[in-house]
Structure 1
Amino acid sequence: MGRSRVRLLWTALAGALAAVLLISGCGSQSSGGGGTGGGAQAQAPAAKVHLEPGGGGDVNPAAPVKVSVERGKLDDVALTNGDGKEVEGELAADGLSWTAGEQLGYGKTYTWSGEATGTDGQSVPVQGSFTTVSPAKTVRATVNPTDHTEVGVAMPISVKFDQPVTDKAAAERALQVRPSVPVEGAWAWLSDKQVDWRPKEYWPAGTQVEVDANLYGVHYGEGEYGRSDLTTKFSVGRSQIVKADASTHQMIVEQDGKQIASYPASYGKDHDPELNTPNGTYMVMQKNPVEIMDNPRYGYTDVEKKWAVRMSNHGEFIHENEENRANLGKVNTSHGCINLSEADAKAYFDGALIGDPIEVTGAVTTMEPRFDVFDWMIDWEQWQQKSAL
């Protein structure tokens, strides 16, 4: 009898426990995903969208602008500015990314919109906004040589800014030179507003050159940013070098390593350092069929000279001077220019290219490297030291 009662008691307890478990199980099922009990939560969407830029302010407008998705595909994407205009962009064929096709503006707010579908079939929104930086000032730049020009073998590449650049390294990093053949060269800051690139030696004849100045969005310091990108493509012509030895009273022209002309010339006065044609490597800067020359200090104004080739902003030219014909090839009597006969001056003028080098030797003075264009009056080691990088 005692054992039967114990067995009955355990049977009752087991039944009660089963009832409790059954009630507990029914309660969990009825609460579903929306209950506060311990049931499973709704599964998160599989797709994950990445925005570049993702949000915030002071975004650089030149930064990458892109949307990508993991575990899914983009259905549509739009990036809209504050005026409601959509930024041009392209959705990749595989639906995994969208990339902007135009630059963003300074000081604007942009809003992302669109949708992606995950591998689980669930939709995920493309959403967010950001604001681009507002510069204290945008700085304009120019590049020379300009597109589709043919230049001489001494021609430097010059980038000039309309404001002084504080962060020169940032600006220089944005500049790229791509010659068609290997050419060693370097950038050098000649002032706070000008940086030039020149080869170590003269350009090889026939070189094709492309320059990219990706300056838009570059922070030059003190809240100033680049206004726009610049590009140029130019070609280097034949190699023509003027060998101007003042002591010989001749001006020799060499083309592709061979002498093609020797003109009787008169250089600046030997005995007066103020009137010398100073030693130095110049280049053809400008060509004018007629140049008006003034130097009141030496008693002349509004004097017309033909076939004038400017070689320095200090005031030196190669030009015709028929009034000095008796001294050509014999005596140096000019005020610093290289005088030729009219026929010889025209012959040289017609064959000269902007950027041709003019190497002056034999004078009693040497030109200081401070009058444009003085790139070749600085030796290569000094030139490299002028880089900001």
Structure 2
Amino acid sequence: MIERRTVFKAALAAGAATMAAACTSTSEDGGAQTGGGATTEAPPVAVITAEPAANAKNVPVLQPVTVKVAQGTLTEVKLTNADGKAVEGKLSDDKTTWTSSESLGYDKTYTYTASATGTDGKPVTLTGSFATLKPASTVRVTLNPTDDVTVGVAMPVSVKFTSAVKNKAAVERALKIETSTEVEGSWGWLSDQQVDWRPKEYWPAGTTVKVEAKLYGVDLGGGAYPRADVTTEFKIGRNQVVKIHTPDHRMNVYRNGSLFKSYPCSNGKDADVNLNTPNGTYIIMTKEPSAIFDNARYGYTNVNKKWACRFSNHGEFIHENQDNAANIGRANTSHGCVNLLEADAKNYFDSALIGDPVEITGSRLGPVVTSDVMDWLVSWSAWQAKSAL
């Protein structure tokens, strides 16, 4: 009897062990087995993430899109716009990060698809879409001087906007000046729609100037954004400066600091300060072989004069006035312009560049600073104070 009970207990224990083994066990590759022999695979170790995240809204167009993988390497990344066009990007050397290399469009939807292989050899994928910001308005930006021109030594760089700018500091930070010769200068806001850069002193002759206004995607304020970046490259010409001391009735032209030409002239009427040629440093703004002058207040309209070089938006020109020949070189009788004899006006016209400085002294009328070209009418410290930075 004793022996039979011992055999029964051993059999019972063996049966229990067999039941336990049938309920759960571990496979050779580490996967869990359930009753019936089924195996559950361990999840892949690689994890792909993207920035912006899926379904993000109002994404800045300058924000690079990045796709990263942890515990693996990327095998393919595609970023496409709504038309299916691929966005350029670059994979890092270790193949763990992909970064877009071009700006995104305003108010667009983009989709990314990424694949990777984990350190465990298992593949993973990620897909998602996001939408970029929608501007309340887009603004046209222009740069002057334009490409490939040669200008005078007082020419400012001018950036103009078709609507007012509120975030002026952000705009200035997006502007870059590169010169072939080191030049000290500063940006200054002349209005909410115009910022200029001028050198502290006149440009060195022969300087090459490159300007980049990388403004696309910059918030101008109020939901306004520039339509595009703008750039220009131009050259500074020879150093030529016009100097007029109004009581002398002479217009002297200097090249590289030396007297180059001297012309008799008649300036604004001395007797009427409102008609004086105003003091200050101006620039040649336009050159017109033939110009029409109108001023009904002073009794003349549709008057045609030749070889006209505008130097102020207040209304001043250097031009031919053969009708005033009797006073040229003798008396100031114009309405603010600088009158020259026809041959002299043509000779000067042919020598002038847009951006040449015109320095007026001796007048009772002070500088007129209401023009959008008044960069040299304030001191250097006052100009620097016009910067938003």
Q: TM-score range by the shorter chain?
A: 0.7 to 0.9
1:154 matched to 2:154? The reply is yes
Label 1:245 to 1:25 Cα distance change in 2 as closer, same or farther (>3 A).
farther
1:259 matched to 2:259? The reply is yes
SS of structure 1 residue aligned to 2:293: strand
- Note the C-alpha offset of 1:283: 0.1
1:385 and 1:21 map into 2 onto residues whose CA distance is 90
- Note the C-alpha offset of 1:156: 0.8
The percentage of counterpart residues that share the same residue type is: 56
1:148 and 1:21 map into 2 onto residues whose CA distance is 92
Which moves more between the two structures, 309-318 or 137-146? 137-146
SS of structure 1 residue aligned to 2:247: coil
Q: Quick one: which amino acid aligns to residue 358 of structure 1?
A: V
Which moves more between the two structures, 318-327 or 123-132? 123-132
Which residue of structure 2 aligns with residue 29 of structure 1? 25
SS of structure 1 residue aligned to 2:343: helix
Which moves more between the two structures, 44-53 or 73-82? 44-53
Contact 1:61 1:106 in 2 (8 A): yes
Which residue of structure 1 aligns with residue 206 of structure 2? 206
Which residue of structure 1 aligns with residue 3 of structure 2? none
SS of structure 1 residue aligned to 2:205: coil
Contact 1:176 1:213 in 2 (8 A): yes
1:21 and 1:63 map into 2 onto residues whose CA distance is 62
1:120-159 equivalent positions in 2, closer than 5 A:
120-159=120-159
Q: Quick one: which amino acid aligns to residue 367 of structure 1?
A: P
Label 1:267 to 1:17 Cα distance change in 2 as closer, same or farther (>3 A).
farther
1:67 and 1:150 map into 2 onto residues whose CA distance is 47
1:189-204 equivalent positions in 2, closer than 5 A:
189-204=189-204
Deviations 1:74-111 (A, max 9, x none): 22211122333332445467644434344321112211
- Note the C-alpha offset of 1:137: 1.0
SS of structure 1 residue aligned to 2:381: helix
- Note the C-alpha offset of 1:168: 1.6
1:365 matched to 2:361? The reply is no
Which moves more between the two structures, 89-98 or 329-338? 89-98
Deviations 1:45-85 (A, max 9, x none): 45443433334111011212333445543222111223333
Contact 2:26 2:32 in 1 (8 A): no
Contact 1:73 1:95 in 2 (8 A): yes
- Note the C-alpha offset of 1:261: 0.7
1:356 matched to 2:352? The reply is no
SS of structure 1 residue aligned to 2:261: strand
Label 1:19 to 1:356 Cα distance change in 2 as closer, same or farther (>3 A).
farther
Q: Quick one: which amino acid aligns to residue 53 of structure 1?
A: P
Contact 2:64 2:103 in 1 (8 A): no
1:111-126 equivalent positions in 2, closer than 5 A:
111-126=111-126
Contact 2:88 2:100 in 1 (8 A): yes
SS of structure 2 residue aligned to 1:344: helix
Contact 1:106 1:134 in 2 (8 A): yes
Q: Quick one: which amino acid aligns to residue 243 of structure 2?
A: K
Which residue of structure 2 aligns with residue 166 of structure 1? 166
- Note the C-alpha offset of 1:153: 1.0
2:352 and 2:338 map into 1 onto residues whose CA distance is 15
1:277 and 1:338 map into 2 onto residues whose CA distance is 8
Contact 1:312 1:372 in 2 (8 A): no
Contact 1:60 1:133 in 2 (8 A): yes
Q: Quick one: which amino acid aligns to residue 109 of structure 1?
A: T
2:18 and 2:202 map into 1 onto residues whose CA distance is 94
Q: Quick one: which amino acid aligns to residue 293 of structure 1?
A: F
- Note the C-alpha offset of 1:180: 1.8
1:374 and 1:124 map into 2 onto residues whose CA distance is 63
Extract unaligned runs of 5+ from structure 2: 1-5
1:354 and 1:86 map into 2 onto residues whose CA distance is 45
- Note the C-alpha offset of 1:185: 1.2
SS of structure 2 residue aligned to 1:59: coil
Which residue of structure 2 aligns with residue 4 of structure 1? none
1:306 and 1:127 map into 2 onto residues whose CA distance is 69
- Note the C-alpha offset of 1:28: 4.9
Q: Quick one: which amino acid aligns to residue 58 of structure 1?
A: N
Which residue of structure 2 aligns with residue 323 of structure 1? 323
Label 1:52 to 1:180 Cα distance change in 2 as closer, same or farther (>3 A).
farther
